[in-house]
């Protein structure tokens, strides 16, 4: 019996995946941890460079043409732990995750979302990599009404699902009986172009309260081939036909309400509406808000946005709101940097970290557990 299963779907990124998997297998956990790797790469190179005989590793090479969501779905079927957490193949897990399991057990919590106040940038991202950034060292935990959070998400055009703290299994911890309940009710937990968005919506249908913490029990990484890395390198926007999300989808039908270009906003919205349709729920997305957010972030695609919004020109108020947003954004960036220079910010940055497996000791030294969780140290 495993206490926690860590699911890692991967494809053609052995350079980061091997370091992450071997690193996790070397960590000393109090609880019994299962590492489940679902490898849909073109070759089984990863299998040859990881500790394949480790009893806590469940590795499977899937040499079939499947979608990203199907890779997630095949992997979660092999997760045997009481709790399940999914991460990317360039992310990591803190050895402190034992405390999260103890806390969830004691409080009978079914869902803990992790919005970590840290980010690791691999050496192949941006102008300068091998960096750990900690935006907040004094961490908190809070209880969220999921229905209210989902309502706010819909009013924001389906954007910023991390900000509204709905339940999530990707960089979150979900009790396995909840996953089984969803599979029994809806057939699967993962689907659509973005399995993390799809699963978060379905989880929101069966979970009443979600706990959210910014303590880095999981550590998000950004590498050159990941979505976050491409966003940093300005490669996460373009023509719809260039989106990697469509790989191995046959005759995918893009929703007519979503502007036809590739971006974070459109993929998130498309995946959300896909989830809504899949369970026959009422579509509550505020599309006017979505169209403005698409324009605010990607004015070069205004024709596609106008077509969806059924307008002949960009409204003046959109242009004004975008200008104000950019001014405020730049002002906040300046204030943030000034606070760092003046030493009145919790921000911490360390350069020259060889890879993500080396960050745990730094996080342990710098990040403070939420008060409510200290009794479980």
Q: What is the pLDDT of residue 100?
A: 96
Closest CA to 203 of 284, 146, 142: 146
Whether residue 266 sits in one domain with residue 206:
no
Going by pLDDT thresholds of 50, 70 and 90, the confidence category of residue 223 is: confident
Dihedral (CA of 80, 85, 89, 93) sign: negative
Alpha helices in the chain (DSSP H): 14-26, 45-48, 68-76, 97-107, 146-155, 176-186, 195-206, 227-232, 264-278, 287-297, 302-309, 316-341, 360-366
pLDDT above 90: residue 1? no
Q: In whole numbers, what is the pLDDT of the chain averaged over residues?
A: 92
Residues 6+ apart with CB under 8 A from 207: 110, 111, 146, 167, 178
pLDDT at 109: 98
Task: Using pLDDT thresholds of 50, 70 and 90, give the confidence band for residue 227.
Answer: low
Question: Do 104 and 141 touch, CB atoms closer than 8 A?
Answer: no
Confidence (pTM):
0.92
List phi, psi (to 5°) of 254.
Answer: -75, 135
* 51 token code pair: 């500790």
What does the pLDDT look like over 47-63, one tens digit per residue?
A: 999 999 999 999 999 99
pLDDT at 234: 54
pLDDT for 4 equals: 98
Do residue 172 and residue 264 come from a single domain?
no
Structure confidence at residue 229 as a pLDDT band (50, 70, 90): very low
- CA 319: distance to chain centroid? 30
Residue 341 lies in a domain: no
pLDDT for 114-166, tens place per residue? 999 899 999 876 556 789 999 888 999 999 999 999 999 999 999 988 888 89
CA distance 267 to 238: 12
Q: Which long-range contacts (CB under 8 A, 24 or more apart) does 310-319 make?
A: 318/292
**In CATH, what number is assigned to the domain containing residue 14?**
3.90.550.10
Residue 193 has pLDDT above 90, yes or no: yes
Q: Which of 15, 16, 17 is nearest to 7 (CA)?
A: 17
pLDDT at 231 over 70: no
Q: Say how many domains are in the chain.
A: 2
**Whole-number pLDDT of residue 376:** 67
Q: Are residues 134 and 279 in the same domain?
A: no
Mean pLDDT of 277-300: 96
Range of the domain at 284: 228-335
- Per-residue confidence (pLDDT) for residue 232, from 0 to 100: 46
44, 75: one domain: yes
Instruction: Examine the domain organization and report whether 56 and 204 are in the same domain.
Output: yes
């Amino acid at each position: 019996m495993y206490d926690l299963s860590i699911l890692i779907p991967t494809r053609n990124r052995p350079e980061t995946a091997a370091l992450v998997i071997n690193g996790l297998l070397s960590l000393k956990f109090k609880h019994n941890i299962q590492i489940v790797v679902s490898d849909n790469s073109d070759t089984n190179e990863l299998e040859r460079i990881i500790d394949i005989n480790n009893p806590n590793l469940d590795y499977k090479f899937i040499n079939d043409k499947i979608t990203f969501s199907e890779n997630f779905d095949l992997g979660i079927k092999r997760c045997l732990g009481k709790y399940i957490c999914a991460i990317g193949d360039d992310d990591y897990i803190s050895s402190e995750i034992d405390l999260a399991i103890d806390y969830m057990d004691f409080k009978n919590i079914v869902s803990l979302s992790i919005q970590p106040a840290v980010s690791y940038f691999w050496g192949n991202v941006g102008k300068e990599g091998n960096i750990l950034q900690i935006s907040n060292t004094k961490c908190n935990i809070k209880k969220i009404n999921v229905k209210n959070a989902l309502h706010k998400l819909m009013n924001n055009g389906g954007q910023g699902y991390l900000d509204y703290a709905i339940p999530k299994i990707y960089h979150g911890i979900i009790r396995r009986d909840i996953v089984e309940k969803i599979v029994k009710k809806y057939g699967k937990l993962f689907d659509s172009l973005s399995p993390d968005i799809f699963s978060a919506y379905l989880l929101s249908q069966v979970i009443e309260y979600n706990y959210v913490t910014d303590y880095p029990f999981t550590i998000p990484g950004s590498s050159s081939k990941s979505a976050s890395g491409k966003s940093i390198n300005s490669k996460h926007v373009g023509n719809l036909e260039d989106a990697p999300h469509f790989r191995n989808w046959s005759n995918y039908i893009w929703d007519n309400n979503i502007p036809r270009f590739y971006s974070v906003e459109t993929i998130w919205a498309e995946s959300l509406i896909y989830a809504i349709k899949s369970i026959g729920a009422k579509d509550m997305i505020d599309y006017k808000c979505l169209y403005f957010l698409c324009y605010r972030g990607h004015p070069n695609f205004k024709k596609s946005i106008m077509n969806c919004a059924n307008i002949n020109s960009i409204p003046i108020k959109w242009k004004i709101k975008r200008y104000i947003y950019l001014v405020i954004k730049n002002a906040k960036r300046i204030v943030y940097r000034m606070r760092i220079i003046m030493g009145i910010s919790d921000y911490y940055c360390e350069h020259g970290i060889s890879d993500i497996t080396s960050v745990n000791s730094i996080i342990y030294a710098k990040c403070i557990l939420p008060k409510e969780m200290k009794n479980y140290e």
